[in-house]
Structure formats: C-alpha cells, structure tokens
Structure 1
Amino acid sequence: MLSPELDRKATIKQVKRFFEKDFRTLQNMAHISYMNIKSPTLKDLPDKSVVSNASNSKTNNYMYAIETLAEVRTALSEINRHSRKLIEYRYFKQLTWYDITGLTEYSLTHSQKLLNGALIEFANAFVDVEDLRVFKSKGGEDNDL
C-alpha cells in the first residue's frame, strides 16, 4: 500500500512553527539556571499527591528541553549540509533574508525555496522525536498523522 501524499505547504508551516515557537521555548527552558534547586527531601514533598514538587518539575522541564535540543541537533546532522546551513542562518542565528542572501549568494526567492526544502528534510529526519509532517487525506482534506 502506498503511503499518503505529503502536504508540503502544511508541513513547511508546521516546521516553521516548531522553529519559531517551540524551539525558542526549548532554548529558554534549557538556559534557565537551576543552581538554586536543592535535592528534594521528605519534608519538601507536598502533603497531597495532586500538587507536584516544583523542583522536580523544573528539573524535568530542563532535562526535556536539553534532550529535545539534542534531538534537533541529531536531526540536523542527518540532512544536507546546505539545508542545515539555511536552517541555522534563519532559526539559530535569526538572520534576515537580506543577510542570508548575502551569505549564500542566492536570490531571495531561491533562498526561500531552498529553505522550504530544508524544512521538509528536517521534518523527515525529526520524525522519531516529533512528527511535524502533514499528509493529504484521500478526501482532499489535510490531516496530521
């Protein structure tokens, strides 16, 4: 059986959202200083099970952010070098399109087209962590799978 057709436009939009929102949040979470977190003791544990231990929650968020950012790095290492550079310029260094076209010597339109291809490559490489791909359904509607 053939796999469903990838909705390129919707997938690109989904990956852009990941880099513009989730990725920045993960970066912020990973750079929070946890120097003031002490090891939890029995007296620090909450009385009721519905309340979480704030120290554990902060540490878990920090570890989740670190692990996910490492997975982003791994996925980027699996894509084309030129694609990786475009993603780095746009989302890691947050360069303007003017700066990117100067560095790549491609036109604005060509740079944007290449970045869209890079985002599709990333979506395919990142699928084991989070599936950012969107597929077309048989009825013509778009569905996330």
Structure 2
Amino acid sequence: MDLIPEIDREATIKATKRFFKKVWPRIVLQSGLSAISLRSPEITDMPSSAPVGNSNEELVVRMLDSQTQVKNIIRCMDSLETKKKTILREAYISNIQNWKIAQEIGYSLPRYYQLKNEALVDFADAATVYGFDLLVEKS
C-alpha cells in the first residue's frame, strides 16, 4: 500500500468540474454570501453562532455551515500557485469565460486548459483536508 495512492487524473478532473458546476453554486446560494464578497480576497474567520431557541435556528445553522464550506473552498483555491488560483477564481467565482482568462494571464488556449486541469487536480487534492472527496484513485 502506497502512502499516497496514485490518482486517476481524468476522473478527478471530471469530478472536480462537476463539483464546480453543480455543487459549488448551491453552496454559495445556501450560504447567503454575495458574489462580491466571494471576489474580495478576504473572507473573515470571525466566529459566529446561531441564536438559541429561535424557530429559524436550523436554517441559520445550515447557512453558517454553508458559509464555512465556502470559506474552506476559497482557502483551497488560495493554497494553489498564483496562476492556478487565478484560473479557478476567475472561472468559478467571477464566471469569466475561459478565453478571456487565458488572455488575461497571457497563455494560449491549449496551455490555459492544461493549467486549468492541473489546477482542478491540485484543488481536489487540497480539498480532501476539508472533507470534499473529489480525488479519484486509480484502480
């Protein structure tokens, strides 16, 4: 048994893309955070708590949990090297088209897509720390 198992890059890329297209928008929506707050570089870690005994307590707890997930996802993005972080932030937070991002960072589209795929795999690896199971091991 290897300490770090070999991953299936293509399946991991596919799983991570699916996460950003299907799961990420729902987490953001449930968090109550605005798109502007996600684009800013600082999301605070100030502790917060749900009111006790409130009939909306369960909803508030769910919203706070979603906010924590958003913060953790952004931490994972921010842990990547600068170009990869820029690609993921621009593509999945700012919703900028791929060709515009490629142009912004100064790469051809084929090189951009190569970097984006690397960023998706690196993100999946970093996200395991926060309980997001996106890495697919080779069988």
Q: Please tell me the TM-score bracket, short chain as reference.
A: 0.7 to 0.9
Letter in structure 1 aligned against 2:134: L
SS in 2 for 1:136: coil
Aligned ranges 1:66-145 → 2 under 5 Å:
66-129=67-130, 130-137=132-139
Question: 1:31, CA displacement in angstroms?
Answer: 1.6
Higher Cα Rg, which structure: 1
What is the rounded CA distance, in whole Å, between the counterparts of 2:30 and 2:129 in structure 1?
Answer: 22
Query: What RMSD in Å do the two structures reach over aligned CA positions?
Result: 2.0
Identity rate, percent: 26
What is the rounded CA distance, in whole Å, between the counterparts of 1:117 and 1:125 in structure 2?
Answer: 12
Q: Unaligned 5+ residue runs, structure 2? A: 34-50
What is the rounded CA distance, in whole Å, between the counterparts of 1:115 and 1:14 in structure 2?
Answer: 14
Higher normalized strand content (fraction of residues)? 1
What is the rounded CA distance, in whole Å, between the counterparts of 2:77 and 2:98 in structure 1?
Answer: 20
TM-score scaled by length of structure 2: 0.78
TM-score scaled by length of structure 1: 0.75
Letter in structure 1 aligned against 2:94: K
Question: 1:39, CA displacement in angstroms?
Answer: 5.8
Contact 2:5–2:137 (8 Å) recurs in 1: yes
Aligned ranges 1:34-73 → 2 under 5 Å:
40=53, 55-73=56-74
What is the rounded CA distance, in whole Å, between the counterparts of 1:21 and 1:61 in structure 2?
Answer: 18
SS in 1 for 2:137: strand
What is the rounded CA distance, in whole Å, between the counterparts of 1:121 and 1:115 in structure 2?
Answer: 10
Provide Cα deviations, 1:23-78, integer angstroms capped at 9, x if missing partner: 1111111127xxxxx8636xx6xxxxxxxxxx233112201111101111221222
Higher normalized helix content (fraction of residues)? 2
Q: Unaligned 5+ residue runs, structure 1? A: 33-37, 45-54, 138-145
Runs of 4 or more above 2 Å deviation: 38-41
Number of equivalenced pairs: 121
